[in-house]
Each structure stands twice: as structure tokens, then as C-alpha cells.
Amino acid sequence: MYAPPPHLNLVVLRSPDIHRAAKFYSALGLLFTCHSHGSGPAHYTSDVSGLVFEIYPLTPKSGSTIGTRIGFVVDSVDELVPLVVEIGAQITTPPCNSEWGRRAVVKDLDGHSVELLTRKVSSDTSIRSA
């Protein structure tokens, strides 16, 4: 029996300042709404192609997510890195070519490692016959 592999549908980061964190991730292109569920805390949510990305407040009872590394495919690493640095991100790995494409790693405003990747454009221009 075939079962498809699991599909990631939720990423939750915790921040001492959810508004500042949402500003950083908005600069990457995520669109957020701020809301809460029942009596839960206000938090930011972005839903892109079935992946829900949430920013919750960091509290003494919640675990830190600082050790979490996340990554995003973006249109242009070279254009985006200066924008996020301008709002306070720190460059861990400057933009460079890699086997996956143009890549950089930055620390968000809370210290999470965020990999940014612009995938290689295939140079295979051959025409395949049917």
C-alpha cells in the first residue's frame, strides 16, 4: 500500500515582540493577519499554499524557538538581503552561489536562522521529442 510522505503544514515561531517579528517576515513577502483563538494570545498568521506560518508571543511557559532554522525560496536573494539588514537582520552567510542556487543565511530580529534561496534557473534548453 502506498502512502504519500507527510506534508509540512505548520511552522510556529515564538518572539518576545510579535509585531517586530511580523515586520521582518513581511519584508520577505509573507502576508499576515493578527488574531487569537478563543482566550489564546494574539498572534500573527500567514497561510501560503497550505503552509501556515505563525508568530506567537514568547512567554515564560512557552519554549524558545531560537534554535529553529527555517528557509524560504525567494525571487532574488541579492535584492532581499539588504532590505532585511536595513530593518535589523544580521548576515550569517552572505549571498553566494551554491549547488541549490543563490543562497544567504540571516538571523531574524529574534535570532532565528533564516535561509534565503533563489533557485538555479535550468540551463537545459534542449528540446525533447515526444
CB atoms within 10 A of CB 82: 11
Q: Is position 77 within any domain? A: yes
- Total of domains in the chain: 1
Neighbours of 101 (CB within 10 A): 13
Does some domain include residue 74? Answer: yes
Q: Is residue 126 in some structural domain?
A: no
Query: Does residue 84 lie within any of the structural domains?
Result: yes
* pLDDT for position 121: 79
pLDDT for the residue numbered 120:
87
Position 63 in a domain = yes
- Could you read off the pLDDT tens digit of each residue along the chain, which spans 130 residues? 788 899 899 999 999 999 999 999 999 999 999 999 898 999 999 999 899 999 999 999 999 999 999 999 999 999 999 999 999 999 999 999 999 999 999 999 999 999 999 998 776 554 544 4
pLDDT at 2: 85
- Cβ proximity of 97 and 112 under 8 Å: no
Q: Is residue 125 part of a domain?
A: no
Q: Does residue 4 lie within any of the structural domains?
A: no
pLDDT of residue 128: 47
Of the CA atoms within 13 Å of residue 93, those in its CB half-sphere come to 13
User: 100 is in which domain, residue-wise?
Assistant: 10-119
Q: How far apart are CA 111 and CA 80, in angstroms?
A: 18
CATH of the domain at 115: 3.10.180.10
Residue 14 inside a domain? The answer is: yes
pTM: 0.87
